Structure 1
């Protein structure tokens, strides 16, 4: 069971390992959107957005619901919003540590 969980986590994080996929998730965290809305907000080609949505769908991170001739994308699990928030907090912590280190180096050189 433990190995299966580790494999799930590894596959899950691989699916998140692309800046465009993260941006798509951030947009979907604000609410459901179709491909055209995502493309417009990102300012990217449709094929690039579609490719990344395919990866996210394959890993069951997002799902699409048919609405006429459009597909509306949604986060499969609302915990993704929390995960993105925690990732931002970790980034900020690293940034604070880096600034602190640079300050110490600057103080030593003066």
Structure 2
């Protein structure tokens, strides 16, 4: 039995619902990175990062390869970077609207003081 599309989408967003995973994906947009560099850039315990990387790997968002004794991670495809860009665009729009509302409230408050 197949999973309905809306459930598959919900699962995708659930797995993206952790700040460490989002940060890893953002860092990997710059190019492949060894685990040691990811650890240096993200304040998380090595075991925690390992668990998050495993989730991202199982989901197909990142892939890993060995370079000697070093494990290097990379985005699995351009669609992940596109999804992150869309999220930034939505967040920018939301924050801009909130800033405009705040400015209006400040102007109204200043006029009634």
TM-score, scaled to structure 1: 0.88
Shift of 1:43: 3.7
Which entry has the higher C-alpha Rg, 1 or 2?
2
Equivalent runs, 1:30-109 vs 2, <5 Å:
30-109=30-109
CA contact (8 A) 1:39 1:49 kept: yes
SS in 1 for 2:63: strand
After superposition, what is the alpha-carbon deviation per residue over 1:39-90, rounded to whole angstroms, capped at 9, x for unaligned?
0122432122111111111211111112222221111121111111111111
CA contact (8 A) 1:36 1:46 kept: no
TM-score, scaled to structure 2: 0.86
The runs of 5 or more residues in structure 1 that have no matched partner are none
The runs of 5 or more residues in structure 2 that have no matched partner are none
